[in-house]
Chain A
Amino acid sequence: MGGRDFDILERIKTEPATGDEQRCMELLNPADFEIFSHQMQMIALEANEVLIKTAGTPAGLAGDIGSCVYSAQGDPAAAAVGIWAHAFAGQLPIKYILKHWKDEPSVGIRDGDAFFCNEALYGGIHPPDCATFLPIFHGGELIAWAEAMAHTTDTGAVEMGGISLSASSRYEEGMKFPPIKIAEDFLLKEDIITLMENFVRDPRVITLDNKARMAACMRIRQRVLEVVEKKGRDFVVGGLRKMISEGSKVAKERLSRMNDGIYRQPVFLNGEEVESRGGKQALLRIMVAIHKEGDHVTVKFDGTSPEQPYSLNAYPHIIHPYGTGYVCCSHLFPDLPPSIGLMEAFDVEIPEGCLMNPSEEAAVGASPVSLFLTAQAIFPCLAKILFDSEIRSNIVSTYPYMTLYVVWGGIDRRGNYFVGLGPDINAGGFPARWDKDGVNTGGFFVATRSDCEDVEGIDVISSMSYLFRRQGQDNFGHGKYRGGAGMEFGYLAHKLPMIVIMSVGGCGKFVSAPGIFGGYGAPPLIGIKVEGTNLAEMLAAGDENVPTSFNELLTRRDMIEGEGRYTIGSAMCELGPLNEGDVFATFQGGGGGYGDVLERDPEAVLEDVKSGMVSHWAAGNVYKVAYDPTTMVIDVQKTAEVRDGEREERKRRGLSYEEFEEGWLEKKPPPEALEHYGSWPDCM
């Protein structure tokens, strides 16, 4: 029997090793095991290449993809990504298939079958993250699974792009498939493909993606069976299990050497989505408390805002691959082969009914926003855990949690209906480190393969032109080491038949990346939409006032305006047309800062001023550097005086905790902003 099964959603940990797996593990000596691990890694990489090269979604370029070899019980053993979650999130749908479809006469699991799932209630992430799972049989026995996931840009929600801003329940989020058989005899079922095409605006993307996922899975199957052919079934079964077990063993051993404690970090976002439905600006909170004891970590979410009537909700099972999975693979254990074993030490506890553990009816299309925010909250905790550890060098401040996701669609220059995804999502700043600045425009932080593409390529493939595109100024957290800058960009509708655009995020009025250890946070993201401009005339006339940066667009209103209409506000932009000559400009968040700004080397500040990364205003008022803006020569003595003065000033401004708390509580936001927050201040 099918139907929802919430027990399955609890099975994010590795299944206990069977006696057979235990026996088979013993077959691999250290050389065999290294060779086998490397081979599985090559197989995952090969499948990932196939997926990237054949996918129809621009997310292939962004690295919003993953491929993985799973054990027969449905645990990820060797992955190549993309986004780590995209390799690991097949775990629960596979376990569902094993539990419910294996012995179900009307479904079954047979050699040649493949299954599809994009439904969060059945172990998926959010509707656009579509996955294919293919069982690998040998001699009639199921010995492993292949998985491939790619973010398909449109899955038929009320708004294009998969992440629907305005969906208030699951029923407005388009196509949502629980695990369903998509292929038999190694052929995609045309009826299912047609069904999916029928849901979406541009069927080419979903069909190409389905073919790509299937091709990637087939590649994994073929290669795994070749290894079975050479080394035997037991060797492969034992090897896959050993990859998970060894990962777990080493990760736990390392964790046990780190300091125990409870590490807390609240993070906030403003729920723009509320406003988009005619509601009010709302403040939301995610509270992360990491309880670390010995080789075990529990991530608790008490004090997190309640379930939202909009699509920011995320289910607990997704936190594992998205939050802890990403942190483990990219920051805690980047030297260990990636498998679910690395996450074995982590548990998640979330109160029911909150934003991160919502009801079945909840909309979850924008859940990555909350998941990114969760990952963001983990980093300051991690910094404290790692500070006195053997990998202090891996301390980072925070990543900008909502890399801005811009979607456009309409009719392209060749006359096709299309839905595009702005590759600028892949140009956020990375956080400051304990010993150096963050990387400028480093990418979309959870997507390790992200690429923001050339504007010429975007112009041809996605029919969008740019007015400017550059690294932003002061859009990161300042500090002893500053965060990396995010990219600022202005789209210009040029020679387009028809296009509509929207952007998704949740940080228009709140710090987009908090700082750590005294470093400042990165500023909120601002967006500018200008309609009915005279830019075409200005360009044709060679007018030197044509804006070439976000600041120029912001400050040259009187020169540009003509018949134009400026809308300046949050970077979140509701779905609306972009007519010929209209501009939409915004920027990706920068990384959070690390340490006190007054400790930053004044020479480094001036270098940033020269390169345009830091404004003269910030150099003088934030970093307190005294210099001649014409010659750019630092007045060393005066800088020391100004900085000493600022330190004295800080002492003067200092308050006792009681005074601080009293003043802080007076700053309680107005009731309308707290409508969805939960009880003030602790959401309890």
Chain B
Amino acid sequence: MGATIDIDIGGTFTDCFVVWRDGYGKGKAPTTRYNASVGFKNAIAAAAESFDASMEELLADTDLIRYSTTIATNTLIERTGPKLGLITTAGFEDCIIVGRSRQWADGLTPSEIRNQARAEKPEPLIPREMIVGVRERVDYEGDVVMPLRREDVMERLQYLVDKGAMGFVVSLLWSCSNPVHEHMIRDIILEEYPDVYLGSMPVLLSSDVSRKQGEYLRTMTTILDAYLHRDLAEQLTSLNEELIDYGYNRPLMVIHGTGGMSRLSHTTAVDTYNSGPIAGLLGGAEIARMYGVENVLVTDVGGTSFDFGMVVEGQAKFYDLFPIIDRWRVQIPLLEMKTVGAGGGSIARISPTGARITVGPESAGSMPGPACYGLGGTEPTVTDADVVLGYIDPDYYLGGRQRISLDRARRAVEEHIAQPLEMSVEEAALSIKQVVDMNMGNEIYKEVVLKGFYPEDFILLAYGGAGATHCCGYAEALAVEKILTFPYSSVFCAFGGSVMDIISVYETSRPLVFYEALIDSYFADFEEFNDIVEGMQGRAIHDMEVQGFDAERVRFTLELDMRYGTQYFTEYVQCPKLFLESEEDSEAICRLFTEKYKSLYGESSAYPEGGIEVLALRLKATYPIDHYRFPTYEAVGEDPGAAVKGTRPVCWEGKGYLETEIFDASLLRCGNVIRGPAIIEAVDSTCVLPGGRRYTVDRYMNGLIELDG
């Protein structure tokens, strides 16, 4: 069997995880914004080195390349998408400008939203002058109330073309119930402006992108697809061509934020959003399977942000149904990875009265970066505190590749925190660490308990540049007993790509009364329900077959978005059956909903007496593929002595500076046990092990951190 290559193109680094010759290798290279393929190739070349092979040799023997990218994020930040025209229903042209009024707050943190005087809506991706309304109306039942007139469409179209539109988004009211008018408009565009005229300019219909109600969300999802399409297509086409030149002529699979992947032809640009972090979450699910545990928390601590997500019952199953992409709320079920502004670059400050030390969300980023970088940063950051405390060796930062200054770190902490608060530099640095660790822990805590779970029932996975440095700190806030760190921690998201299946998700909005309390009656229109499911299933099978996957092997799961009475928000339940046959089935679904609701909000919160409705159905189609299995190793003994690099003074909470043993992670062997306090250094990460914790190199060569004694 040949190699598989997983690539995660992030904002700063391009990570690579390669499975080949019965083992794995990792590579990392700076992301090259001007041409992503340069960083892509460099990362593959770096990974090939770990097999003592060239990139060409590796690619020539590669069966599959999977790929996640931040191109969507970059295009949005840099606003480099094409000039688009939006055709919508007359009278509703301002829909995306109004943005449900809340658009100004979407994508901001609660503290940013507080300052209402400085509220600002983002610049629309399609300016108002490129939005036209056509006279037509379809109602909520899909009935045509006002017919569409060809002349009207032609007139509006001509206006957009004259204005320089390079692509069209068509999003009409209630096209999710009946897309007839959207189809007519597409036909007219294609007739009037065939390919020769428009070239490869896209015509995207909202009804093709989403069948869920909610015109703002549906329209924005479609606009983002159209807006991001060109840059994504260019990047992938360029990559494809280069890969062919290097002898790789198999498909390039693209990882989706929905938790699966598809061929490029079945990938919309929005699908790729946040795909890297979500691949990491799926990597967490694989780790859960390997270790035979149900619940894991994945945590990724980077320079400016802290990402976390949950795997429950072995699955990454929590979706954000209305995620915000940049500043835009959309309507695709993205697997949920939360982000907060905390990381190595987070800046520490004191409040005006000196009553508190705050850390973040402002970050020094990578430029100027922490004070210790010596690139102009003067305010103390989390990394500076880590250096002051002796956790990070200034001479071995990134394996010694980057020189940093202990003096600058000390000065920053001293001037900005220690002196004003009349405390020692060490106390100040420890306070910074405590605040960032506990705040990260509290953020995780809130999200976990909101989903009806307790963090203490989870194993915590720590990756990212600063994950191992701070994991014991935030684990304490969560009362988590077990933590796992990984030798491939710095490319964990790329590893996550290697365990993904082919997955597509289909959604349909349809209000269905499942329990009518007044007459004590359960839903019985099985034909209507089953028709919807059949329709989605048909689309799924078609999509799988055209990608060359055997429809027989596709597994389906169905989720229902449900609510009580007059509620606006829904909770979803996994439907035990794809097709309903009896009122008992409906009753069982209602029971599941109530059970889940009670587990989330308390025993007495449920209210079936108010009636139960399904508002939307979601079908997930999964085509499983074989994944790499990590080999296991035999324990060779607990003594880690061979890996000791030396000692240095390290400051620990409640103990002050202790001469602490430093270990070289690459020299540790299976079964070695290190008792805290200790520091375990790898080229790309530093694990800080406080007293009372024990680090064991387990059978997969991962670092298992547990409470000691």
Which A509-546 residues have C-beta < 8 A from chain B?
536, 539-540, 542, 544, 546
Q: Which residue from A52, A249, A439 sits with its C-beta under 8 Å from B353? A: A249
Contact A253/B352 with A187-B604, A455-B92, A540-B146 known, Cβ cut-off 8 Å: yes
Contact A549/B91 with A215-B601, A418-B566, A439-B120 known, Cβ cut-off 8 Å: yes
Residue A85, interface by CB 8 Å: no
Which B428-470 residues have C-beta < 8 A from chain A?
430-432, 434-435, 438-439, 442-443, 445-446, 449-450
Whole-angstrom distance between the Cβ of B477 and the nearest chain A Cβ:
8
Q: B-facing mask of A44-56, CB < 8 A → 1, else 0?
A: 0110011011111
A440 to B101, CA, bound (A): 8
Contact check, A334 vs B446: say whether CB atoms are below 8 A apart: no
Question: In the complex, which residue of chain B has the Cβ closest to the Cβ of A32?
Answer: B434
Which A445-469 residues have C-beta < 8 A from chain B?
445, 448-457, 459-461, 465-469
Residue B318, interface by CB 8 Å: no
Contact check, B355 vs A335: say whether CB atoms are below 8 A apart: no
Residue B118, interface by CB 8 Å: yes
B contact residues around A495 at 8 Å (CB) = 139-141
Residue A405, interface by CB 8 Å: no
Residue B486, interface by CB 8 Å: no
Contact check, A215 vs B135: say whether CB atoms are below 8 A apart: no
Question: In the complex, which residue of chain B has the Cβ closest to the Cβ of A470?
Answer: B94
Contact check, A542 vs B115: say whether CB atoms are below 8 A apart: no
Contact check, A548 vs B439: say whether CB atoms are below 8 A apart: no
Contact check, B102 vs A451: say whether CB atoms are below 8 A apart: yes
Whole-angstrom distance between the Cβ of A375 and the nearest chain B Cβ:
12
B contact residues around A456 at 8 Å (CB) = 140, 173-174, 176, 213-215
A540 to B136, CA, bound (A): 9
A600 to B442, CA, bound (A): 48
Residue A199, interface by CB 8 Å: no
Which of the segments A103-111, A201-209, A347-355, A666-674 contacts the partner chain? A201-209
Residue B217, interface by CB 8 Å: yes
Count class of interface residues, chain A:
35 or more
A471 to B94, CA, bound (A): 6
Residue B93, interface by CB 8 Å: yes
Contact check, B139 vs A208: say whether CB atoms are below 8 A apart: no
A365 to B293, CA, bound (A): 55
Which A45-84 residues have C-beta < 8 A from chain B?
45-46, 49-50, 52-58, 60-61, 80
Contact check, A450 vs B213: say whether CB atoms are below 8 A apart: no
B contact residues around A80 at 8 Å (CB) = 110
A395 to B115, CA, bound (A): 11
Contact check, B611 vs A31: say whether CB atoms are below 8 A apart: no
Contact A542/B356 with A439-B121, A443-B101, A454-B217 known, Cβ cut-off 8 Å: no
Residue A479, interface by CB 8 Å: no
Residue B149, interface by CB 8 Å: yes
Contact check, B118 vs A35: say whether CB atoms are below 8 A apart: no
B contact residues around A452 at 8 Å (CB) = 98, 100-102
Which B602-648 residues have C-beta < 8 A from chain A?
602, 604-607, 609-611, 615
Q: A-facing mask of B337-376, CB < 8 A → 1, else 0?
A: 0000000000000111111111100000000000000000
SS class of chain B's interface: helix, strand, loop or mixed? mixed
Residue A433, interface by CB 8 Å: yes
Which B555-577 residues have C-beta < 8 A from chain A?
564-569, 571
Whole-angstrom distance between the Cβ of B532 and the nearest chain A Cβ:
15
Which A412-446 residues have C-beta < 8 A from chain B?
414, 416, 418, 426-427, 430, 433, 439-443, 445
Contact check, B610 vs A208: say whether CB atoms are below 8 A apart: yes
B contact residues around A494 at 8 Å (CB) = 139, 145
Question: In the complex, which residue of chain A has the Cβ closest to the Cβ of B146?
Answer: A539
Q: A-facing mask of B104-148, CB < 8 A → 1, else 0?
A: 110000110111111111000001110001010101110001111
Q: A-facing mask of B44-72, CB < 8 A → 1, else 0?
A: 00000000000000000000000000000
Contact check, B439 vs A56: say whether CB atoms are below 8 A apart: no
Contact check, B565 vs A204: say whether CB atoms are below 8 A apart: yes
A contact residues around B111 at 8 Å (CB) = 334-335
Q: Which residue from B104, B117, B435 sits with its C-beta under 8 Å from A433? A: B117
Contact A394/B102 with A208-B564, A495-B141 known, Cβ cut-off 8 Å: no
Q: Which residue from A246, A454, A461 sits with its C-beta under 8 Å from B100? A: A454
Residue B513, interface by CB 8 Å: yes
A321 to B430, CA, bound (A): 38
B contact residues around A31 at 8 Å (CB) = 356-357, 430-432, 434-435
B contact residues around A253 at 8 Å (CB) = 352-353
Contact A610/B129 with A50-B601, A250-B352 known, Cβ cut-off 8 Å: yes
A contact residues around B350 at 8 Å (CB) = 30
Q: Which residue from A33, A211, A540, A548 sits with its C-beta under 8 Å from B355? A: A33
Residue B511, interface by CB 8 Å: yes
Residue B216, interface by CB 8 Å: yes
Residue A281, interface by CB 8 Å: no
Residue B524, interface by CB 8 Å: no
Whole-angstrom distance between the Cβ of B341 and the nearest chain A Cβ:
13
Which of B137, B350, B571 neighbours the largest number of chain A CB atoms within 10 Å of its CB?
B137
B contact residues around A467 at 8 Å (CB) = 91
Contact check, A611 vs B129: say whether CB atoms are below 8 A apart: yes
B contact residues around A38 at 8 Å (CB) = 438-439, 442
Q: Which residue from A212, A471, A610 sits with its C-beta under 8 Å from B98? A: A471
Q: A-facing mask of B199-215, CB < 8 A → 1, else 0?
A: 00000000000000111
Q: Which residue from A37, A439, A453, A465 sits with its C-beta under 8 Å from B119? A: A439
A187 to B604, CA, bound (A): 7
Residue A126, interface by CB 8 Å: no
Contact check, B135 vs A546: say whether CB atoms are below 8 A apart: yes
Question: In the complex, which residue of chain A has the Cβ closest to the Cβ of B117?
Answer: A394
Q: Which residue from B118, B133, B607 sits with its C-beta under 8 Å from A208? A: B607
Contact check, B566 vs A37: say whether CB atoms are below 8 A apart: no
Question: In the complex, which residue of chain A has the Cβ closest to the Cβ of B145?
Answer: A539
Question: In the complex, which residue of chain B has the Cβ closest to the Cβ of A332?
Answer: B117
A contact residues around B446 at 8 Å (CB) = 42-43, 45-46
B contact residues around A246 at 8 Å (CB) = 351, 353, 355-356
Residue A630, interface by CB 8 Å: no
Contact check, B356 vs A33: say whether CB atoms are below 8 A apart: yes
Whole-angstrom distance between the Cβ of A55 and the nearest chain B Cβ:
7
Contact check, A42 vs B443: say whether CB atoms are below 8 A apart: yes
Contact check, A396 vs B117: say whether CB atoms are below 8 A apart: yes
Q: Which residue from B213, B358, B567 sits with its C-beta under 8 Å from A454? A: B213
Whole-angstrom distance between the Cβ of A360 and the nearest chain B Cβ:
34
Residue B421, interface by CB 8 Å: yes
Contact check, B146 vs A450: say whether CB atoms are below 8 A apart: no
Whole-angstrom distance between the Cβ of B49 and the nearest chain A Cβ:
44
A334 to B113, CA, bound (A): 9
A contact residues around B658 at 8 Å (CB) = none
Residue B244, interface by CB 8 Å: no
Contact check, A60 vs B568: say whether CB atoms are below 8 A apart: yes
Contact check, A539 vs B137: say whether CB atoms are below 8 A apart: yes
Residue A214, interface by CB 8 Å: yes
A contact residues around B92 at 8 Å (CB) = 455, 466, 468-470
Q: Given A46-B449, A246-B355, A539-B146, 15 more contacts at CB 8 Å? A: A31-B432, A35-B439, A45-B446, A56-B565, A60-B568, A204-B564, A204-B607, A208-B565, A211-B605, A395-B117, A418-B566, A450-B102, A457-B213, A542-B147, A611-B128
6 tightest A-B contacts by CB?
Answer: A468-B91, A548-B91, A31-B431, A204-B565, A334-B115, A34-B356
29 pairs from A and B in contact (CB 8 Å cutoff): A30-B354, A30-B356, A31-B356, A33-B356, A46-B450, A50-B450, A55-B568, A187-B604, A208-B566, A212-B605, A242-B355, A246-B355, A249-B353, A250-B352, A253-B353, A331-B116, A393-B117, A433-B118, A439-B104, A443-B102, A445-B116, A450-B101, A452-B100, A470-B93, A471-B97, A495-B141, A540-B146, A542-B146, A544-B152
B interface residues with partner A (beta carbon < 8 Å): 90-95, 97-102, 104-105, 110-111, 113-121, 127-129, 133, 135, 137, 139-141, 145-149, 152, 173-174, 176, 213-217, 350-359, 421, 430-432, 434-435, 438-439, 442-443, 445-446, 449-450, 509, 511, 513, 564-569, 571, 601-602, 604-607, 609-611, 615
